[in-house]
Structure 1
């Protein structure tokens, strides 16, 4: 139904929260970029090491051996990391595709310009081949001068 300016807008109740796919994509790229750093590996190593030390030697062990809660946390982290990394890769592939298309169009324009300039250079070479050189004109003038003055060359 088209909205009319002379009537109030109908109230709509939004049941789902607002979702901005671009903002979510940027966030996922930032997370994926962080997951691929040495800093993340160091942080994870420190956290897991502290977890193991605490739950092995501390008097109060919240996750005793076989560390089931640690396994659950690492599985949860991996289950979120994999889709975020895939989403970031898909967004990068889309950007690469656009960049590839722009590069291809630029290469086509450059190729057309190179072919045009090659034809121009070839036509200039042909034209220069028909132009008399300074030495040729000098020798012809000298020959004509000698013919007019009667001196043999």
Structure 2
């Protein structure tokens, strides 16, 4: 006994006329009203329960989102287009922007980040203070002072360190700003997609509720018709029963003998 594989069933897309797996077909009645109206606008001759492939649904969903964003925000930017494409293809738009930027760092950028990280740590402050204290102690108390007071060589070294450290820290800050901008763009896309998904979910829920109410109304009409038929049948049965009782009484009364008769 062989089992039938439903994944190999084929169906016809009402829009393209192509044969696709039946599991990729969706009834147009199950779509959001706005999306279904957009499809019917381009294909007015579609039957009531037409089947549409997932590819065509994704295409019309992308058009619908683009039109909605353009009407609400004016001209669409690249971020909005990426959000619309992700909605159409049902793909995730979230990404770890920090890891992506870190993977693209050059050697100079990695060096700047490491120097800035070390320059802003307690290890740098403590070690730098120890070196300066040792330098001053040697030149104040030692017999061979190579940089006597007012420590001109030390001032020169400190100035050079500050001159080199400042642009390195600025380079690291620029990279951090780039990370912040990338994170902000990603947050904007995620928030926009979430807003659109919630709006679509509300539309779909309203559509499902309306369809459910219509079905309940149809079921109620059928129940009312059944009750009316039952009442009609009961009334007819009662009428027939009364007629049968009347006939039976009439027959029994006509066949009864008079009281004074003798056998």
Asked if these proteins are the same fold (TM beyond 0.5), I'd say yes
Count the aligned residue pairs. Answer: 130
User: Is 1:58 equivalent to 2:142 in the alignment?
Assistant: yes
Distance 2:192 2:232 in 1: 60
Higher Rg? 2
With structure 2 as the length reference, what TM-score do the two structures score? 0.43
Match of 1:4 in 2: none
1:102-117 equivalent positions in 2, closer than 5 A: 102-117=186-201
Note the 1:4-153 alignment, pairs <5 A. Answer: 22-132=106-216, 147=231
Give the Cα–Cα distance (whole angstroms) in 1 for the partners of residues 152 and 205 of structure 2: 77
Q: CA deviation at 1:141?
A: 9.8
Aligned CA-pair RMSD: 2.9
Q: Distance in 1 between matches of 2:142 and 2:111?
A: 37
Where in structure 2 are there 5+ consecutive unaligned residues?
1-104, 235-263
Greater relative contact order, per chain length (Cα 8 Å cut-off, separation 6+): 1
Which structure shows the bigger proportion of residues in strand conformation?
2
